[in-house]
C-alpha cells in the first residue's frame, strides 16, 4: 500500500494578503519527506500544489482517489492563510475571500470527506497557517464532531501551528511550525525517542515545544493523534538506536478493508471516545474494558491483536507524561500486555508486542526508581502527599513501587536483559525506605499481596539490606494484630475512612465487614516466611491467628488471568488451627497440591504468558501471581 | 438496552434507584440467610468457581460453587397504576424465594455431609425420646473462638417440632437425666479436644 503526500503552499492570494514563505515551506516539507535515506514516501506518490485555487485542490484529490484503491497513510501539509468561520476551520486557497470564508474557503470537514473515500488507514494533517482572521486556532475547532465524526474509518494525527502574523514576521526563514518540523526531520531537534520510526505525534510534540520556546509562548502548536490500525510511522528516526523495543514499531498496519480492519472500524466511535478522554481518565480500569472488546473481536484473525494494541499504545503513551501518576506509562504498557494475554500463546505479533512492551516497562521502572530515590534524598517525606488518606494509601504506594520493581526484575529475567541498573536503583531505594518508612511500609490492604509477591520473589533473602525481611515481619504483625484479615481487595475509597477508624479504635465488628476472609496475604506470608528465616517466629504466632482462613487462588489457565472475574480455577482454602498448626503444614499442601496444579498448566511454559500474568496481577490486584513462588 | 432514543429516559438516576432497591433487598436476604444458618462467617472469593478446603475432613476434594438465582416479573400496569406496594411485594418475593433456595441448598449440604460420614440415625426404631437421645450421643460439640462450648442445634420439620412438645417419651425422667449426663460428658470432651487442638500450636517453651 502506498504512502501518499500532498503539500500545498499558498502565497499568491487574489483578495487576501499575499504571503512570501508558504510555497517555500511546502517545497521544503515535500523535499524532506520524500527524498533521502530516512524517507518512507516514494516521490511518485507525492503531490505539490503552489498557490492552488479551490478547483485545483478538488481536482488533485479526485485524481488521488482515482489512482489508489487503498492508501496506508495520507499526509497533507498546508501552509498559507487559514481561518475560522461559523465554528468551522477553513484552509484559504488563492481564490478564497476573507469576507466569504465559509463559501470560498476549503473546509476541513470537506477534506475529511475526501479522506474517508480515499480508504486511507491513517491521515496526517499538518497545518502551518497564518490566520486570516488574526485568531489563534485551537484543536477543539478541528476535533468538532462534524469534522472528526467523518474520520470514523481512519486514524488521524494533527499538527496545527498558526499565528496571526506568522508569515509577516518569518518571511525569510518560513513558518515557525514548519521550521521546527524540518529540524526534527534532519535530526537537529532530538525527539528523545530511539525507535526506528517516528509518527507525526512523535515529531510534533518536540516541534511544538520548540515553537513555544522560540515565540516565548506566544505560539503553541497543537498535536493530537489516534491510531486505529496499528502504528503509522511517517519518517525514519535520525536518532534511532538499536533497541529491542523498536520491534514494536516494526509491526505493519492493518488494512482498513481487511477483516481485522472492519472489526475495528465498525466500532471506532468507542475508540475515539476513549482517545478524547482527559489523561487522568486513561487508567487501566477505564482502558481495559473498552479495548478488550476490540481484542475479542480480533481474537480469531491471525496477527492482528498485536498490531492493533501496538498502535493504541503508540497513540496513548505520548500523553502519559502529563498524567498525575508517574507510573502511568508503566501501567499503560502493562495494560496493553494484559490485553494481549489471551493471544500470547498463539499469535506472533501479540508475543512480539508483549516483549517490546516488557522492555519499555523495565526501562521505565528503572528510570522511575531513580527519580523516587532522588526525591527521597531531597525530601524524605516525598512519598506522602495526602495527609490522613495516606495512612491507608502510603503502604499501598510503597508496595506498588516495590511490586513494579520486582515485576521489572522478573521481566528482565524473562527477556534475558541486564538487571544491574534496576538492582542498583532498588539498593539505593531500600536504604531510604528502611530509614524513613520502616514502620509504615506494609500490612494495610489485601491489595498489597500481588505486589509483595512480585517483589519478595524477585530478591534474595539477604538482598537490599534486609528490606524483604522487614516487609514480611510487618505483614506478620499486621495480620496477627487484626485476626489474619486486612482491608478487602479493591476497597472503595468511600469505605477507607471507616476502615482506618475501625483499625484505630480496634473495633473488630466494624473491621470484619471491611476486611477480607480468606486472606491471600496470610497465605503469602506463610509460604514466604521460610526464605527470610521467619518461619519459626511465625509458628510461635500462629496461635494468635487461630481460626483465620487463608486462600491461594490458582486459575485453570493463566491465559485468563487478565479478565475482571477469572471464572475457572481453584480456591485452595486453609484454616489455621484445623490441620494447620505450623507453617510447614501449609507448605506441605502447597508442595503436594498447589504446585502440581501449576506445573500441569501448559500456559505457564510460555514466557509471554508469564509476563502477561505478572502485569495483569499488578494492574488488577485481586489476584496473586502464585507461580512466582512456585519457581523459587 | 433500548435500540432508539427515549424521551427523558433518566437512565443514570434509575440505575441508582435500582441499586438502592437491590441493596435493601440484599440486606433482607442476608437477614433471612442468617436465620437459616451459616451467615456469621462469610467468606468472599474474588475468582474461580470451585474451592478445595484443605482443613476439612476431605482435603483433596474440589467442590463446585452453586448459584442460587430467582427471576421476578414486574408488570408495567403496576407502575402505571402507581402501585407503591409493588416495592414491598417485589422485595419480599426476591428475598424469600432466594432464602428458600438457600435453605434447601444448606440442608442438602448438611444431609450430604451426614450421609458421607455415616453420622445418621434410624428414625423408625424406638421412641422419639430414644431417637433424640441417640442423636445427642452422635453429635460432637464444638468450642467457639472465645473458648465457649457451642451446644448442638436441632433443625427439624415443623410436624416433628410439634411432636417434641407433646411426645411423652421426651418427659421421661430417666431419659432427661441421661441427656444431661451426655451433655456434661460431651462438653468435657469438647473442652479436652479443644485443649488438645490448641496444644498443637508451637509455643516458645517447646
Q: Which residues pair with B53 in a beta bridge?
A: A573
Query: Would you call B201 and A581 a contact, using CB atoms and an 8 Å cutoff?
Result: yes
Query: CB-based contact (8 Å) between A517 and chain B?
Result: yes
A570 near B CB under 8 A: yes
pLDDT for the residue A143 = 60
A553 contacts in B (CB within 8 Å)?
Answer: 45-48
Average pLDDT over residues A199-222: 83
Q: Span A81-104, mean pLDDT?
A: 86
pLDDT computed for residue A149 by the predictor:
57
What is the tens place of the pLDDT at every residue in A11-34? 999 998 888 889 999 999 999 999
Of how many residues is chain A composed?
632
pLDDT digits 0-9 by tens, A96-123: 998 888 899 998 888 888 887 877 888 8
Residue A362 has pLDDT above 50, yes or no: yes
Task: Identify the helix (H) or strand (E) that includes residue A294.
Answer: helix A284-298
User: Is some CB atom of chain A closer than 8 A to the CB atom of B41?
Assistant: yes
CB pairs under 8 A between A and B: 93
Work out the percent of chain A whose per-residue pLDDT is above 90.
53
**Percent of all residues in chain A with a pLDDT value above 70, rounded to a whole number:** 92
Q: What is the mean pLDDT of residues A561-586?
A: 95
- In order along its 206 residues, chain B shows pLDDT tens digits of 455 677 788 888 888 888 999 999 989 888 888 888 765 677 888 999 899 999 888 899 998 888 888 888 888 888 888 788 888 888 889 888 988 888 888 888 888 888 877 777 776 777 888 888 888 888 888 888 888 888 887 777 888 888 878 887 778 888 889 988 999 999 999 999 999 999 999 987 65
Are A555 and B48 in contact (CB < 8 Å)? yes
A82 has a pLDDT exceeding 70 = yes
For A543, name the nearest residue in chain B, comparing CA atoms only.
Answer: B201
pLDDT in tens, A430-472: 999 999 998 888 899 999 999 999 999 999 888 888 899 999 9
pLDDT of residue A225: 79
A609-615: average pLDDT: 97
Cβ contact (<8 Å) for B54 and A572? yes
**Angstrom distances, CA of residue A165 to CA of A8, A90, A168, A219, A611:** 19, 17, 5, 11, 53
Say if the Cβ atoms of A575 and B52 lie within 8 Å: no
Task: Write out B51-98 in H/E/C secondary structure.
Answer: EEECCCCCCCCEEECCCCCCCCCCCHHHHHCCCCHHHHHHHHHHHHHH
Closest residue in A to B145 (Cα–Cα) = A547
Could you give the domains of chain A? 2-228 (3.40.50.1460), 325-630 (no CATH)
Question: Is the distance from CB of A78 to CB of A91 less than 8 angstroms?
Answer: yes
Across the interface, do A570 and B54 touch by the CB < 8 Å criterion?
Answer: no
Reported as a single tens digit per residue, the pLDDT across A242-300 is 554 443 434 446 776 778 888 887 787 777 777 767 777 788 988 999 999 999 999 88
Give the mean model confidence (pLDDT) for residues A312-316: 85
Mutation to test the B interface, candidates A446, A571, A621, most B Cβ within 10 Å: A571
Judge whether A582 is closer than 8 Å to chain B, CB to CB: yes
Question: pLDDT category, A632, cuts 50, 70, 90?
Answer: low
pLDDT of residue A163: 62
What does the pLDDT read at residue A8?
96
B196 lies within 8 A of chain A by CB: no
pLDDT of residue A245: 43
Can you give the length of chain B in residues? 206
In the predicted structure, residue A197 carries a pLDDT above the cut 90:
no
Q: Look at residue A49 and tell me whether its pLDDT is greater than 90.
A: yes
Q: List the single residue in B with minimal CA-CA distance to A582.
A: B201
Treating both helix axes as pointing N-terminal to C-terminal, what angle do A328-339 and A305-317 enclose, rounded to 10 degrees? 170
Q: Specify whether the CB–CB gap between A624 and A453 falls below 8 A.
A: yes
> Which pLDDT belongs to residue A577?
94
When pLDDT is averaged across residues A192-199 and rounded to a whole number, the result is: 79
Beta bridge partners of A225: A157
Indicate yes or no: CB of A540 within 8 angstroms of CB of B46. Answer: no
The predicted structure's pLDDT at residue A231: 75
Print the SS3 string covering A90-110: EECCCCCCHHHHHHHCEEHHH
- Looking at residue A173, what is its pLDDT? 67
Statement: the pTM of the whole predicted model exceeds 0.80: no
Q: What is the ipTM of this complex?
A: 0.77
Amino acid at each position: 500500500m502506498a504512502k501518499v503526500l500532498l503539500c500545498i503552499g499558498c502565497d499568491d492570494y487574489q483578495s487576501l494578503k499575499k504571503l512570501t514563505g508558504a510555497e517555500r515551506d511546502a517545497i521544503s516539507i515535500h523535499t524532506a519527506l520524500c527524498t533521502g535515506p530516512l524517507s518512507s514516501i516514494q516521490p511518485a506518490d507525492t503531490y505539490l500544489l503552489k498557490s492552488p485555487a479551490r478547483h485545483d485542490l478538488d481536482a488533485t484529490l479526485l485524481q488521488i482517489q482515482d489512482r489508489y484503491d487503498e492508501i496506508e497513510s495520507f499526509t497533507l501539509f498546508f501552509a498559507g492563510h487559514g481561518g475560522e468561520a461559523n465554528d468551522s476551520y477553513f484552509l484559504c486557497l488563492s481564490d478564497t475571500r476573507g469576507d466569504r470564508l465559509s463559501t470560498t474557503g476549503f473546509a476541513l470537514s470537506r477534506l475529511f470527506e475526501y479522506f474517508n473515500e480515499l480508504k486511507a488507514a491513517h491521515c496526517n494533517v499538518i497545518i502551518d497557517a497564518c490566520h486570516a482572521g488574526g485568531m489563534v486556532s485551537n484543536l477543539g475547532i478541528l476535533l468538532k464532531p462534524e469534522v472528526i465524526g467523518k474520520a470514523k474509518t481512519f486514524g488521524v494525527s494533527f499538527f496545527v501551528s498558526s499565528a496571526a502574523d506568522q508569515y509577516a514576521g518569518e518571511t525569510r526563514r518560513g513558518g515557525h511550525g514548519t521550521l521546527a518540523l524540518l529540524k526534527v526531520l534532519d535530526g537537529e531537534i532530538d525527539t528523545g525517542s530511539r525507535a526506528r520510526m517516528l509518527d507525526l505525534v512523535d515529531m510534533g510534540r518536540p516541534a511544538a515545544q520548540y515553537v513555544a520556546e522560540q515565540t516565548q509562548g506566544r505560539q503553541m502548536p497543537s498535536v493530537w493523534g489516534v491510531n486505529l490500525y496499528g502504528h503509522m510511522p511517517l519518517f525514519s528516526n535520525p536518532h534511532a538506536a538499536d533497541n529491542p523495543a523498536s520491534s514494536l514499531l516494526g509491526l505493519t498496519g492493518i488494512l482498513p478493508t481487511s477483516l481485522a480492519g472492519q472489526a475495528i472500524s465498525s466500532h471506532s466511535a468507542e475508540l475515539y471516545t476513549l482517545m478524547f478522554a482527559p489523561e487522568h481518565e486513561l487508567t487501566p480500569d477505564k482502558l481495559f474494558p473498552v479495548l478488550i472488546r476490540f481484542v475479542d473481536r480480533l481474537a480469531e484473525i491471525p496477527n492482528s491483536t498485536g498490531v492493533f494494541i501496538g498502535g493504541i499504545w503508540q497513540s496513548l503513551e505520548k500523553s502519559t507524561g502529563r498524567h498525575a501518576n508517574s507510573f502511568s506509562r508503566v501501567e499503560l504498557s502493562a495494560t496493553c500486555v494484559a490485553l494481549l494475554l489471551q493471544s500470547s500463546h498463539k499469535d506472533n505479533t501479540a508475543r512480539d508486542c508483549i516483549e517490546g512492551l516488557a522492555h519499555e516497562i523495565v526501562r521505565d521502572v528503572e528510570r522511575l526508581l531513580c527519580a523516587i530515590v532522588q526525591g527521597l534524598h531531597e525530601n524524605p517525606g516525598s512519598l506522602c502527599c495526602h495527609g490522613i488518606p495516606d495512612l491507608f494509601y502510603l503502604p499501598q504506594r510503597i508496595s506498588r513501587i516495590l511490586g513494579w520493581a520486582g515485576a521489572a526484575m522478573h521481566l528482565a529475567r524473562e527477556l534475558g536483559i541486564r538487571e544491574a541498573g534496576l538492582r542498583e536503583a532498588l539498593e539505593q531505594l531500600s536504604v531510604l525506605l528502611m530509614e524513613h518508612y520502616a514502620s509504615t511500609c506494609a500490612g494495610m490492604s489485601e491489595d498489597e499481596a500481588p505486589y509483595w509477591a512480585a517483589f519478595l520473589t524477585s530478591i534474595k533473602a539477604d538482598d537490599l539490606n534486609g528490606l524483604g525481611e522487614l516487609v514480611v515481619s510487618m505483614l506478620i504483625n499486621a495480620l496477627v494484630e487484626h485476626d489474619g484479615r486486612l482491608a478487602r481487595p479493591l476497597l472503595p475509597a468511600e469505605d477507607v475512612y471507616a476502615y482506618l477508624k475501625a483499625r484505630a479504635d480496634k473495633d473488630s465488628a466494624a473491621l470484619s465487614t471491611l476486611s477480607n476472609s480468606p486472606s491471600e496475604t496470610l497465605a503469602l506470608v506463610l509460604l514466604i516466611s521460610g526464605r527470610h528465616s521467619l518461619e519459626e517466629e511465625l509458628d510461635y504466632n500462629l496461635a494468635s491467628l487461630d481460626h483465620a482462613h487463608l486462600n491461594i487462588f490458582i486459575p485453570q489457565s493463566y491465559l485468563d488471568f487478565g479478565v475482571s472475574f477469572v471464572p475457572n480455577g481453584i480456591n485452595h482454602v486453609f484454616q489455621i488451627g484445623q490441620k494447620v498448626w505450623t507453617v510447614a503444614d501449609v507448605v506441605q499442601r502447597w508442595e503436594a497440591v498447589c504446585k502440581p496444579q501449576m506445573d500441569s498448566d501448559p500456559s505457564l511454559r510460555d514466557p509471554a504468558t508469564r509476563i502477561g500474568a505478572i502485569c495483569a496481577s499488578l494492574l488488577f490486584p485481586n489476584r496473586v501471581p502464585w507461580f512466582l513462588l512456585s519457581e523459587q | 438496552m433500548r435500540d432508539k432514543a427515549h424521551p427523558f429516559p433518566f437512565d443514570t438516576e434509575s440505575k441508582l434507584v435500582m441499586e438502592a432497591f437491590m441493596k435493601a433487598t440484599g440486606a433482607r436476604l442476608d437477614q433471612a440467610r442468617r436465620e437459616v444458618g451459616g451467615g456469621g462467617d462469610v467468606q468472599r472469593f474474588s475468582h474461580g468457581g470451585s474451592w478445595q478446603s484443605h482443613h476439612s475432613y476431605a482435603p483433596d476434594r474440589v467442590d463446585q460453587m452453586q448459584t442460587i438465582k430467582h427471576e421476578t416479573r414486574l408488570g408495567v400496569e403496576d407502575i402505571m397504576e402507581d402501585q407503591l406496594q409493588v416495592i414491598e411485594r417485589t422485595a419480599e418475593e426476591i428475598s424469600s424465594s432466594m432464602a428458600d433456595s438457600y435453605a434447601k441448598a444448606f440442608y442438602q449440604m448438611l444431609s450430604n455431609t451426614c450421609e458421607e460420614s455415616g453420622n445418621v440415625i434410624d428414625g423408625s426404631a424406638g421412641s422419639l425420646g430414644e431417637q433424640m437421645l441417640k442423636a445427642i450421643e452422635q453429635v460432637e460439640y464444638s468450642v467457639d473462638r472465645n473458648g465457649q462450648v457451642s451446644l448442638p442445634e436441632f433443625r427439624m420439620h415443623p410436624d416433628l417440632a410439634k411432636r417434641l412438645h407433646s411426645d411423652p417419651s421426651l418427659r421421661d425422667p430417666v431419659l432427661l437425666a441421661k441427656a444431661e449426663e451426655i451433655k456434661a460428658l460431651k462438653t468435657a470432651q469438647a473442652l479436652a479436644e479443644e485443649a488438645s487442638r490448641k496444644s498443637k500450636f508451637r509455643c516458645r517453651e517447646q
